[in-house]
Chains A and B, each alone.
Chain A
């Protein structure tokens, strides 16, 4: 199968959907050249640097029969548009009694690794998960990116695509033919039996590397990539933990009230899963700090394969002695 980068897969998904549906149009503070060349400035609009305005305009255009894509670029830029995202986009379908739909795709770069410091590096998806009325996903591969984006553009709700800055140039197989990936369906990226690692985006790849490493010692790691945060595929997560009895959650965001906390709750408040747990749940997250600039500091803040390995060893502690007893 041919390979595309994460970024190329996104552009291909958007171009295909724009060809398919003339109501889809794109707004961002700079027009993306490949889209602009194909679709022209009416459908690929460069806006003033006013995220609040063009986020709200996306809502109004959606309520008027269009399917706008509003690209915030870095997620941190959308914080100036929080009223439009939280008070308006998320709520108005419900608040108006479901009269009309607001199909909008928001795109936002997340994560760290770029040495661009606190105002350009963040993974704040749990802030948005907390707001009823928004769907959202975090692709980890070019294949997932394309399939999820196409689904999101066709969805009748506001959907946020959180796209990992670290993965933009990562290549992976993407079929030529049309396909979509439903929201709310996790993907088991690697099957295993000793421990479940639930990871997002770049940390899926770090978890895969960790699993390869531990396989040499006979430790079998299952990796669940939820892909979609809202809706969240709780069944796949619970089934995996029921099988392995151990859970490590890896997230580029800090732990406090985070996605990782939600997954821990999903597992522990379900009796059938809780009773299978053989060890406390372990979270491997970023430190709860603004993201610093200097590589020494930034590397220290984020989890990586080594911290995932350490986390897995922690939840496996006592396994052999228990087996021996």
Chain B
């Protein structure tokens, strides 16, 4: 599991750290503003799982396509989404990515290949497999990535799509973020395998288990899978073992059956602390450098909140816009 020498340029490593910190701080702000009543409905925080989105997306090109889940902010940020338009969407404003029609669970930016967060567990897997088919038919070497949780790996579309992607050799990465819980229910109570990656064998494709808190290990696994996909080798299932630090959602008073000791043990394996330590060990990061990165991020998040707050709400009658395309 040690990947101390990731063979990555220091700038790229620092960029990974910057993205992970951006996700962490964006989520902290989203949670705070949700609890303050400025963000509506429901928010699912990605804190603790940042290495997965960043590690995988670091292996992608801008033209590659991804799809996300209800816990989607991290994938948006890792794919390069604009924080202002993300925050404005959470705030339900006209300037949001979805003009206030989607909210936290449906942020999409097709311009950067982010085909949307999806509120139905396993709902996005088939859609992004279609994007993989599109990439194959385009013949330009594009790949598509499905992010989903351990819960989705029990649902039909996961199995149907792995089968079809394997058969058609689609340029796909299926990235299971195994945070050990499907909403409140432990993974062990919903499937009999210890590793979701073991399911790959049933479809004749590689299945890889990765430390989901080690961004370099994830990057390396993703890179191998991307090369295989781009060269016509077909899909790979990558299981990233990770953990969400927060409850299923930010809703107050929501039951969380997880053991405190378990939560604390995973917090001690903080994916951000890990990459920080590695950068410091390589002499590529010091306190001043970290402060500078943090300062930039906090400034960008403040600016995003200010943008959201200054943006108008949609007009009520805009509720009937965009049901159909012209």
Which A residues have a C-beta under 8 Å from some C-beta of B? Answer: 25, 42, 47-48, 50, 52-66, 68, 80, 83-84, 87-88, 92-103, 132-133, 135, 156-157
Which B residues have a C-beta under 8 Å from some C-beta of A? Answer: 65, 67, 96-102, 106, 108-111, 115-116, 118-120, 123, 125-135, 137-138, 144, 156-157, 160-161, 163-164, 167, 321-326
The distance from the CB of B231 to the nearest CB of chain A, in whole angstroms, is: 19
- Give the number of residue pairs across the A-B interface with Cβ within 8 Å: 144
Which of B67, B99, B126, B137 contacts A84, CB < 8 Å? Answer: B126
Task: Give chain A residues whose Cβ lies under 8 Å from the Cβ of B116.
Answer: 92, 95-96
A93 and B106 in contact, given A53-B161, A83-B123 (Cβ under 8 angstroms): no
Question: B133 and A98: CB pair below 8 A?
Answer: no
Task: Give chain B residues whose Cβ lies under 8 Å from the Cβ of A66.
Answer: 134, 137
The distance from the CB of A19 to the nearest CB of chain B, in whole angstroms, is: 17
Q: In whole angstroms, how far apart are the Cα atoms of A101 and B129 in the complex?
A: 17
Residue of B nearest to A90 (CB): B323
Task: Give chain A residues whose Cβ lies under 8 Å from the Cβ of B164.
Answer: 47-48, 50, 53-54, 57
Cβ contacts A to B, 16 pairs, < 8 Å: A48-B167, A57-B126, A57-B130, A57-B164, A61-B133, A62-B130, A63-B131, A64-B65, A64-B131, A92-B108, A94-B101, A95-B106, A96-B97, A97-B97, A97-B102, A133-B323
The distance from the CB of A221 to the nearest CB of chain B, in whole angstroms, is: 34
Question: A60 and B110: CB pair below 8 A?
Answer: no
Q: In whole angstroms, how far apart are the Cα atoms of A103 and B134 in the complex?
A: 14
Which of A25, A52, A93 contacts B325, CB < 8 Å? Answer: A93
Question: B126 and A96: CB pair below 8 A?
Answer: no
Question: B126 and A59: CB pair below 8 A?
Answer: yes
Which of A59, A93, A95, A103 contacts B127, CB < 8 Å? Answer: A59
Question: B133 and A87: CB pair below 8 A?
Answer: no
The distance from the CB of A166 to the nearest CB of chain B, in whole angstroms, is: 30
The distance from the CB of B198 to the nearest CB of chain A, in whole angstroms, is: 21
Task: Give chain A residues whose Cβ lies under 8 Å from the Cβ of B111.
Answer: 99
Task: Give chain B residues whose Cβ lies under 8 Å from the Cβ of A132.
Answer: 323
Question: B163 and A56: CB pair below 8 A?
Answer: no
Question: A60 and B101: CB pair below 8 A?
Answer: no
Question: A157 and B325: CB pair below 8 A?
Answer: yes
Question: B115 and A42: CB pair below 8 A?
Answer: no
Tell me which of B109, B128, B167 has the highest count of chain A C-beta atoms within 10 A of its own C-beta.
B128
Question: B325 and A53: CB pair below 8 A?
Answer: no
Question: A60 and B115: CB pair below 8 A?
Answer: yes
Tell me which of B111, B116, B133, B161 has the highest count of chain A C-beta atoms within 10 A of its own C-beta.
B133
A52 and B126 in contact, given A63-B131, A83-B120 (Cβ under 8 angstroms): yes
8 extra A-B contacts, CB within 8 A, seeds A57-B129, A60-B134, A97-B102: A42-B137, A52-B157, A59-B127, A95-B98, A95-B101, A95-B116, A98-B99, A98-B322
A157 and B324 in contact, given A48-B160, A52-B157 (Cβ under 8 angstroms): yes
Question: B97 and A53: CB pair below 8 A?
Answer: no
Task: Give chain A residues whose Cβ lies under 8 Å from the Cβ of B119.
Answer: 87
Q: In whole angstroms, how far apart are the Cα atoms of A160 and B131 in the complex?
A: 21
Q: In whole angstroms, how far apart are the Cα atoms of A57 and B115 in the complex?
A: 12
Q: In whole angstroms, how far apart are the Cα atoms of A93 and B110 in the complex?
A: 11
Question: B322 and A61: CB pair below 8 A?
Answer: no
Q: In whole angstroms, how far apart are the Cα atoms of A68 and B134 in the complex?
A: 10
Task: Give chain B residues whose Cβ lies under 8 Å from the Cβ of A84.
Answer: 123, 126-127
The distance from the CB of B99 to the nearest CB of chain A, in whole angstroms, is: 4
Task: Give chain A residues whose Cβ lies under 8 Å from the Cβ of B325.
Answer: 93, 98, 101-103, 156-157
Question: A50 and B160: CB pair below 8 A?
Answer: yes
The distance from the CB of B167 to the nearest CB of chain A, in whole angstroms, is: 7
Q: In whole angstroms, how far apart are the Cα atoms of A155 and B127 in the complex?
A: 20
Question: A99 and B110: CB pair below 8 A?
Answer: yes
Q: In whole angstroms, how far apart are the Cα atoms of A93 and B323 in the complex?
A: 7
Residue of B nearest to A155 (CB): B325
The distance from the CB of B40 to the nearest CB of chain A, in whole angstroms, is: 15
Q: Which 6 A-B residue pairings sit nearest by Cβ, starting from the closest? A: A56-B126, A60-B130, A57-B130, A64-B134, A98-B322, A53-B160
Residue of A nearest to B94 (CB): A97
A52 and B156 in contact, given A60-B133, A83-B120, A94-B322 (Cβ under 8 angstroms): yes
Task: Give chain B residues whose Cβ lies under 8 Å from the Cβ of A65.
Answer: 134, 138
The distance from the CB of B30 to the nearest CB of chain A, in whole angstroms, is: 19
Which of B96, B106, B110, B132 contacts A63, CB < 8 Å? Answer: B110
Question: B133 and A57: CB pair below 8 A?
Answer: yes
The distance from the CB of A295 to the nearest CB of chain B, in whole angstroms, is: 36
Question: A99 and B108: CB pair below 8 A?
Answer: yes
Which of B102, B137, B157, B326 contacts A96, CB < 8 Å? Answer: B102
Residue of A nearest to B142 (CB): A64
Q: In whole angstroms, how far apart are the Cα atoms of A80 and B132 in the complex?
A: 22
The distance from the CB of A167 to the nearest CB of chain B, in whole angstroms, is: 28
